[in-house]
Structure 1
């Protein structure tokens, strides 16, 4: 059995370790605060503004929401957002009938061109699965394509990813009657440490204009056209 002196030494050591751990946590710098501006074309009245801002405040980490009705814009203040968080903010504005068409951060501008409605369509048809086409900034080699495909395959409902190296484009196919958000694909590409330039599909065309040019790549692997599927 331990003596009282040994127990005291153990308690002091544990206490010191806990204090050191607290100091390490306290020393970590807080995430930088950024502002995201979203253009909501359908936000036209005070009621719309309250609905949009109420949805955005529900997003974890949001510090402030400022609405400019005249400009149809909403500015969201929060810690530096990931691509997934940007997609969540966009979804909340969409969900509150704000009709988002543009999202601007310090790093990039995301612009959506929606498909034109068919005036001859008598009723709303149920959603059908359709492929997404993802244009990548400087898709240099098959290794890069496989790295992106691995992340896209992690999205529920994705059945096949194929690549056209000449066009720097990946085609994403999904299960029947399954549609995935273009923001989910953007997040997947970001997690692969690559940059998307556009995502085209039934949602329309979502383009990304980056504030800074991509860092040049120097891969040894040759870039060869390939229209085949990328395996899981």
Structure 2
């Protein structure tokens, strides 16, 4: 399939076609930073960053209100990652998109997200405005994630996160707070009882949150 056919595929499934769709594909290709001549190209002729732009255009062709981005910069080199992140940031603002970003890359989350939800074993353990999460994480797991970022210094060693035990099986999660076997602050209460949600705009589930 050509780039044009790939981008147009969601609309053809809906039974749309013709010159109007062809014109919209070319217009959208320009919006995501693809040169117009590439709409007749094949994926094998594109770079990794260009292929990602095709995927973004295909997702936007149906004019969604919500765009789900699952690891949008994985397998891309650093310079291309920056281009894609800036593209997503601009599209979010220009198209008034709600964007759900799924990523383990904290730099990507920090750059794009207005609000952050931190998940552990399928449960949200902390949620709040991005700035508050990055500057004042309340849950010990959120704190460990932030500590896990390798400092950009020559000779820097892997950070010490202070986590105990091994990652538990999601099929047989621990009792109480599921993070308690690895948490350096855990006490007997944590093994018995899942903490209630605390906070309003900044919500967390922890018996002994960070101050």
Tell me if both proteins adopt one fold, taking TM over 0.5 as the criterion. no
- Return the TM-score normalized by structure 2: 0.31
Point out the structure with the larger strand share: 1
Could you say which structure has the larger radius of gyration?
A: 1
Q: Larger relative contact order (C-alpha < 8 A, sep ≥ 6)?
A: 1
Point out the structure with the larger helix share: 2
